[in-house]
Copies of this chain bind each other. A is one copy, B any other.
Amino acid sequence: MPGDNSVGSPPTPRSPTARLRHRRRSAEALPDVSKANGGDLLVNDRNKYRSMLVRAYSSVWMIGGFALIIYLGHLCITAMVVVIQIFMAKELFNLLRKAHEDKHLPGFRILNWHFFFTAMLFVYGRILSQRLVNTVTSDKVLYKLVSSLIKYHMVVCYFLYIAGFMWFILTLKKKMYKYQFGQYAWTHMILITVFTQSSFFVANIFEGIFWFLLPASLIVINDIAAYICGFFFGKTPLIKISPKKTWEGFIGASVITIISAFLLANIMGRFQWLTCPRGDLSTGWLDCDPGPLFKPEYYTFPEWLPHWFPWKGISILPVQWHALCLGLFSSIIAPFGGFFASGFKRAFKVKDFGDSIPGHGGITDRMDCQMVMAIFAYIYHQSFIVPQSLSVDMIIDQILMNLTLEQQQILFEKLKQVLQDRLVG
């Protein structure tokens, strides 16, 4: 997390910072005014610039990789989310494991991955099942196979889970009950945390990359803006859990995030690649009617503006107003995900969740705010965006998908009856 770099950096040649870090650890209660005042002392601290350089280098690579994947499309983004998920789960599984106890429990780690596999099958089966069926409608045999797999999907996942549950109970060893139950609960919490957020990510991706890219970008912008504002102007500490965070950074980042939300939505909304939903698992180019949200509306400026003002009017996509809400949430509430992760690390006396990313820590360190945002973006989309779009086609798809020909005809007759009743009465 930017602004938190002293807690997050791996122990590379930055000994003054390391000593500062240790001193700060033992004096947790003191508001970290001197460090937050780093802006004034920057010229004296060359290592601060070096750490910023390392972080910037990693950030550039991450953002570059991210942009490439966006270009490659929906399936590629889903694959990226799955890979991130696997690494997050691995970091978190390892975090509270005690090597001593694990010696007496062979095969216990495999149980974690069994539950992980079951959760993955369950979550992605639910989200992608409809689109998988749409992909194979051309082939009769494959269609039947896939349809029956999907029909029994919940049963299969349930029995996999029960098998893991029974395995857990049969491997309970005397004197290790507490450790094993603790690990079991920890596994469940990790899987809930990791899979909830990634499943909401993937659900949003197939609604249109826009609804994945905009929230994720806003969190990145908020992080970077908070770091920069805190770097130059930071003075007043924000919250005790994260002593490096400052009110100046927080407020500056909020302003920047909300403005960028408004502008970014305009830029992103022009590309059909980003705004069109993907109905199946194909990878080709997309062409669709984006819907009323992405059609620009032109507002002329009022008369009292001076003549030399170059723009006579402004075209705004209606989706930009929604983007303001997303920006507001990502600047005010999403940072609490970061506070939660910080508090968690302090509670369990862990410096970082991992060390995959130089300068930032582990993958979970990067994803902590994204998790809160992903869920909000999905719920916002489902509650405020979808009801304004085409539900008729959705239901037609359902009818064609789930009913046989006779059932469709029965439905047709019933619907005719219902509509006639409604028109009359």
Q: Does A141 contact B (CB under 8 A)?
A: no
**Known A-B contacts A169-B241, A383-B152, A415-B415; A188 and B180 likewise in contact (beta carbons under 8 Å):** no
Name the one of B347, B392, B415 contacting A178, with C-beta atoms under 8 angstroms. B347
A411 & B383 in contact (Cβ 8 Å cutoff): no
Give this chain's copy count: 2
Give per-residue flags for A211-229: 1 if the beta carbon is below 8 A from chain B beta carbons, else 0: 0000000000000000000
**Chain-B contact segment, one of A81-89, A253-261, A289-297, A338-346:** A338-346
Main secondary structure on A side of the interface with B:
helix
Which residues of the partner chain B approach A380 to less than 8 Å between Cβ atoms?
A: 155
Partner of A402, one of B158, B333, B382, B391: B391
Min distance, Cβ A327 to any Cβ of chain B, angstroms: 16
Most chain B beta carbons < 10 A, residue from A239, A398, A399: A399
Residues of B within 8 A of A400 (CB): 418
B residues within 8 A CB of A392?
Answer: 403, 407, 410-411, 414
Residues from chain B with a CB closer than 8 A to the CB of A172 are 240-241, 343
1/0 per residue, CB under 8 A from B, across A5-40: the answer is 000000000000000000000001100000000000
If the complex has contacts A155-B383, A158-B376, A410-B392, are A343 and B415 also in contact, measured as CB distance less than 8 A?
A: no
Report A175 CB to chain B, min CB distance, Å: 9
A399 pairs with B395, CB closer than 8 A: yes
Q: What are the nearest 10 A-B pairs in CB distance?
A: A177-B347, A178-B347, A181-B347, A155-B383, A169-B339, A392-B411, A158-B379, A172-B343, A154-B379, A392-B410
- A interface list, Cβ under 8 A from B: 28-29, 151-152, 154-155, 158, 162, 165-166, 168-170, 172, 174, 177-178, 180-181, 185-186, 188-189, 192, 239-241, 333, 336, 339-340, 343-344, 346-348, 372, 375-376, 379-380, 382-384, 387, 391-392, 395-396, 398-400, 402-403, 405, 407-412, 414-416, 418-419, 422
Besides A158-B375, A392-B411, 17 more A-B contacts (Cβ < 8 Å) are A151-B387, A154-B383, A155-B380, A165-B372, A169-B343, A172-B241, A174-B240, A178-B348, A181-B343, A185-B185, A185-B186, A189-B189, A391-B402, A392-B403, A396-B411, A396-B418, A415-B415
